[in-house]
């Protein structure tokens, strides 16, 4: 079997590599004390969640608020530092967030999120955290190093471009992310491409996704 790097588009590698200094500026750009209340999921994302008992934005933001709301910001920051201190710690935190979100969603909506919805919302929330400055370099560095890329149609299209169209998905969608295996496979492809260029999946997310795109 050929190494996946054989399929990398040289032109996309060059563009991503050249963009990395600018992309790193997005991480930790806003003081957390000035954060907004979207928690990473905007109207365009949440409009895809239909026929629910409660507006999805209300449920998602209530869940995220409960995670972020700590009596002291320093406590929350130290928790984040631990969560992103290694890939193993990050994976355990990521899975814990996904379980908590699913349980919260079921309690509020009386139905479950799909696998793709569940993990996209978690990854959007973590990306949103990465936009903020916690006055802690370990948190910033850990998020850049370990955070996943939030998968959606734009990301999957850009990934396929980076692989010279090797994936048989001319019109990808979140519906293609059926389970843990497809999610992990896409994350691993993004990770390999990103690191070959000196970047990470989080920085790929900042590069590949455009509002309204």
Strand 30-31 relative to strand 132-133, pairing: parallel
- pLDDT the model gives residue 107: 96
- pLDDT the model gives residue 2: 61
- pLDDT the model gives residue 213: 52
CB 210 within 8 A of CB 154: yes
What pTM value is reported for the model? 0.94
Does the residue 7 lie in any domain? no
Domain residues for the domain of 23 are: 12-208
- pLDDT the model gives residue 178: 87
Does the residue 147 lie in any domain? yes
Does the residue 4 lie in any domain? no
Does the residue 57 lie in any domain? yes
- pLDDT the model gives residue 48: 67
Does the residue 65 lie in any domain? yes
Report the domain count for the chain. 1
Does the residue 202 lie in any domain? yes
- pLDDT the model gives residue 101: 97
- pLDDT the model gives residue 205: 98
Query: What are 82-126's pLDDT values in tens digits?
Result: 999 999 999 999 999 999 999 999 999 999 999 999 999 999 999
CB 128 within 8 A of CB 39: yes
Does the residue 5 lie in any domain? no
Does the residue 213 lie in any domain? no
**What is the token pair recorded at 77?**
């920051």
The segments of the chain whose pLDDT lies below 50 read: 1
- pLDDT the model gives residue 1: 47
């Amino acid at each position: 079997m050929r190494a996946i790097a054989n399929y990398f588009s040289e032109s996309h590698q060059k563009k991503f590599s050249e963009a990395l200094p600018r992309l790193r500026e997005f991480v930790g750009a806003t003081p957390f004390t000035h954060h907004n209340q979207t928690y990473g999921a905007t109207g365009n994302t949440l409009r895809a969640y239909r026929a629910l008992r409660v507006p999805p934005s209300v449920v998602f933001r209530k869940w995220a608020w409960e995670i972020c709301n700590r009596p002291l910001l320093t406590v929350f920051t130290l928790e984040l530092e631990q969560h992103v201190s290694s890939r193993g710690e990050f994976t355990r935190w990521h899975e814990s967030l996904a379980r908590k979100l699913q349980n919260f969603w079921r309690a509020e909506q009386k139905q479950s999120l799909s696998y793709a919805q569940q993990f996209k919302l978690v990854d959007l929330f973590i990306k949103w955290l990465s936009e903020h400055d916690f006055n802690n370099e370990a948190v910033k560095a850990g998020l850049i190093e370990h955070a996943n890329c939030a998968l959606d149609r734009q990301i999957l299209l850009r990934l396929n471009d980076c692989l010279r169209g090797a994936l048989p998905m001319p019109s990808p969608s979140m519906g293609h992310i059926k389970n843990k295996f497809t999610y992990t496979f896409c994350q691993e492809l993004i990770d390999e491409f990103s690191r070959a260029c000196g970047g990470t999946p989080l920085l790929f997310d900042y590069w590949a996704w455009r509002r309204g795109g």
